Structure 1
Amino acid sequence: MQLELIRNATLKINYGGHLLLIDPYFAPRHSLPSFTGRSPNPMTELPRAIDDILQGVELVIVSHLHTDHFDSVAKKRVPKALPLLCQPGDEGSIRETGFADVRPLNETTVWQGITITPRQGSHGLGPVVEKMGHVIGFKLEAAGEPTVYWAGDTVLYPPVAETIQQVSPDVIITHSCGARWDGDLIVMDAEQTIALSRLAPQAIVVATHMEALDHATITRQDLRQAADTAGIDPSRLLIPADGETLHLEPVIRSRFAKHD
């Protein structure tokens, strides 16, 4: 398994012999409005050209329709013939933009030998959830590959902990920038990411969705310092830079060897 963090939540994953693109957000730096008045968004540029990012992509997954997960540039540039998985209820809006093969992830789906299972998420807790709307995470499984739990735009709450207990994932991908909306936490912050790491002591946690949006409150350095203070092994909590590719099989094999 190889995972490339493009920017924010946008990932390109080589999994089960196929290339998956998750939550494409292709807007140029400072081309979209601020959320908080601190800076126009996104605050960083893409690490490489959109054509390079799209090269070889075979499946697109869009977790929800917030602009930082599927923006107008992505809607134009992602090839319309590619199969696209989305959360139930978003398929109509996506089809209206010209995508021909849109499949709502209502239940476990098998695509080219990869099993994709939706998992619950909550974009905050309390009244803010009505403003944020519904979101999903998902589990990936394929022969010869680590089991992956992509948590998505969610805080740490009981269904996330239950997924970790039930699935025992080898890799957990979190959104850990501590974004807030009207003061309410809407994705994991450093404290919740550390708590999640402790819930899954044999998993590799990959923290993403950082330093791209102006309503974020946690930087990569903040998270690393907090994790170090909490005694979290840095080989178990990975915090990739934009454009960085992680080769996860050697890391996973090494961790399992330590526990044999």
Structure 2
Amino acid sequence: METPTTQSVKIQHIRNATAKITYADKVFLVDPMLAKKDAYPGFEGTFRSHLRNPMIDLPMPVEDVMEGVDAVIVSHTHLDHWDDAAQELLPKGIPLFAQHEADAQIIRGQGFTDVRILGANVVFEGVHLTKTGGVHGTDSMYAVPDLAQSLGKVMGIVFQAPGSKTVYVAGDTVWGREVDETLAKFNPDVIILNTGDARLVGFSESIIMSKGDTLHAHQAAPNATIIAVHMDAINHTALSRQDLREYVQEKNIHDHVLIPDDGEILQF
């Protein structure tokens, strides 16, 4: 049997955690936040909550973001991953993947008619999509009932197809067992990490990853390319791209960690 031709993977970082991933000739829009600058108040109870979100505009017209999209993936329904503008602007019949039935019901309630649950090895037009686990904060945060409910459940996504590099979108998670298990099981070629070091008032730790997790990822998957996103766009992120660029230089991992600008296209 002939070896399949390797197909290139194109990842366009849009803003924050929003990405346009062209994979096996299908285009996925992940975690769309499409509002104009300053559309929403800052997140209450978080770092720099006096700032409005998003703090920057989209790098292109919203029509260009949506052009050619075959399916949407919403890792969870927090505003900075699935906002009012996305709900209003995206076609209501577009195939859309959610992490569980509760999120699917929310999204169906917003008028979307083709909402699917992402699970183990779901196939969408030749692309294998697998939901992976994650935790949106620390044990001490989840020990506070109201905060646990607010943080909620999250997922990551693994993309696979014959002849394509394996891509792992970790999502809004801290590093934990779920991430280790995903790396061991799938051995991804490309890992997208949300490294903005998002902070809550009253806690010293982040609810997502931070700069040290880029080093951890390189140590855990030395052959993978790491893409660091979820910076410079939302009020509660304490880590900037510039901070991270200095860190990866200091740790001498800059050849393994990509920190794309908004709108930048990476090809693998």
- Structure-2-length-normalised TM-score: 0.90
Task: Verify the 8 A CA contact 1:128 1:181 in the aligned structure 2.
Answer: no
User: How far apart, CA to CA, are the structure 2 residues paired with 1:213 and 1:128?
Assistant: 20
Higher relative contact order by CA 8 Å / sep ≥ 6: 1 or 2? 2
Structure 2 Cα separation of the partners of residues 102 and 161 of structure 1: 29
Distance 1:226 1:116 in 2: 32
Q: Identify the residue that residue 69 of structure 2 maps to in structure 1.
A: 57
Counterpart selection for 1:179 from 195, 198, 210: 198
Q: Does 1:17 align with 2:25?
A: yes
Q: 2:158: which partner in 1?
A: 139
SS in 2 for 1:3: strand
**CA-to-partner distance for each residue in 1:181-201, whole Å, 9 max, x for gaps?**
233310101012211121110
CA displacement at 1:49 relative to structure 2: 0.8
Superposed displacement of residue 86, structure 1 = 0.5
Partner of 1:207: 228
Name the structure 2 match of 1:42.
54
Matched, 1:229 2:229: no
Alignment partners' CA distance in 2, 1:138 and 1:54: 20
Matched position secondary structure for 1:56: coil
Query: Which of 183, 190, 202 is the aligned partner of 2:211?
Result: 190
User: 2:38 corresponds to which residue?
Assistant: 30
Quote the offset at 1:20 in angstroms. Answer: 0.7
Structure 2: which 5+ runs fail to align?
Answer: 1-8, 143-147
| Partner SS for 1:90 | helix
Matched, 1:242 2:244: no
1:75 to 63, 76, 87: 87
Mapped contact 1:177–1:208 kept (Cα < 8 A): yes
Identity across aligned pairs (percent)? 40
**Contact 2:41 2:50 (C-alpha < 8 Å) held by counterparts:** no
Greater share of residues in strand: 1
TM-score, normalised with respect to structure 1: 0.92
**Contact 1:19–1:56 (Cα < 8 Å) also in 2:** yes
Q: Which residue of 2 aligns with 1:256?
A: none
Q: Deviations over 1:203-244 (max 9, x none)?
A: 000001110011111111111111111121x23100000010
| Partner of residue 167 from structure 2, selected from 123, 148, 166 | 148
4+ residue runs over 2 A deviation: 35-38
Structure 2 counterpart of 1:242, one-letter code:
D
| Conserved 8 A contact 1:161-1:196 | no
Q: Where in structure 1 are there 5+ consecutive unaligned residues?
A: 249-260
2: CA distance between counterparts of 1:230 and 1:236?
A: 11
AA aligned opposite 1:11? A
- Output one character per residue of 1:94-129: Cα deviation in whole Å (capped at 9) or x when no partner: 001111100011332001000001110110111424
2:98 paired with 1:86: yes
Contact 1:82 1:101 (8 Å CA) reproduced: yes
Quote the Cα distance in structure 1 between the aligned partners of 2:141 and 2:67: 37
Q: Tell me the amino acid that sits aligned with residue 110 of structure 1.
A: V
Equivalents in 2 of 1:5, 1:242: separation in Å?
Answer: 6
Correspondence for 1:117: 130
Superposition deviation, residue 158 in structure 1: 1.9
Tell me how far apart the structure 2 counterparts of residues 117 and 104 of structure 1 sit (CA, whole Å): 11
For 2:119 and 2:164, locate their aligned partners in 1 and report how far apart those are by CA, in whole Å.
23
Q: Does 1:98 align with 2:111?
A: yes
